[in-house]
Amino acid sequence: MNEEKLTSERLSAFSDAVFAVIVTIMVLELEAPEEPTFSALVSLWPTAISYAVSYLFIAIIWINHHYLMRFVGAPTLRLIWINFAHLFLVSLLPFATAWVARTELASSPVVVYAGLFVCIDIAYNVFKRQVLVGADETELSSRMRRFARRRSLAVLAGFTAAMLVAFIEPRVGFGLICAALILHLRPEVPDFAKH
């Protein structure tokens, strides 16, 4: 049993380290303006907003990942590889964030950004499904699982809609990304869904 716990803790610790590196890379992309005026900060709004949304997304991913890890017993090789695939997709976020910021929310970068959110969300849902396959039925009722599945589908639909809308209206697409993120702010199932 201790060996199982150690293995899931190692998986969690490795994932935490990757999330920390990704946030650090994003911070290193932030550049201070050359001019010593507050008005110089105004021109950095695309960088500020894309960084804030990406940081929020990473925070949500980490919180949800952390929440799920409590259901992991002995991680299977399949679960470990799924986790690596998920982390790989998350590691592309600094690139997509920088592109959105540098192009001031232009269409193609926002489409790619939203598409990356779709891919990350799909990978997370595969990870979540794999974790919950082994979860104790008493800890997670079928009603709670259904609610979580519906919420995941709604978020995925939101990211997909954002990607499609961004072809025509990139700022609206970016707004849809933000709206979809709100659904994942709380990883556990709300009390009303438990009754």
Report domain extents, the chain: 2-30+40-194
Task: Identify the pLDDT of residue 46.
Answer: 84
Percent with pLDDT over 70 in the chain? 88
Output DSSP code: residue 34.
S
Note the pTM of the prediction, 2 decimals. 0.85
Rounded CA separation 138/93 (Å): 36
Task: Identify the pLDDT of residue 171.
Answer: 95
Task: Identify the pLDDT of residue 147.
Answer: 78
Q: pLDDT (tens digit, 9 = 90+) per residue, 138-165? A: 556 677 777 778 888 999 999 999 999 9
Question: Quick one: CA torsion of 130, 133, 136, 141, rounded to 10 degrees?
Answer: 100
Rounded CA separation 73/85 (Å): 20
Task: Identify the pLDDT of residue 162.
Answer: 96
Rounded CA separation 23/16 (Å): 11
Rounded CA separation 42/138 (Å): 52
- Please give the chain's pLDDT, 195 residues, in tens: 455 555 788 888 899 999 999 998 888 777 777 888 788 778 888 888 999 999 999 999 998 888 888 888 788 889 999 999 999 999 999 999 999 999 999 999 999 999 999 999 999 999 988 888 766 655 566 777 777 788 889 999 999 999 999 999 999 999 999 999 988 777 665 443 444
What are the tokens at 149?
């599945």
Task: Identify the pLDDT of residue 191.
Answer: 45
Rounded CA separation 80/102 (Å): 35
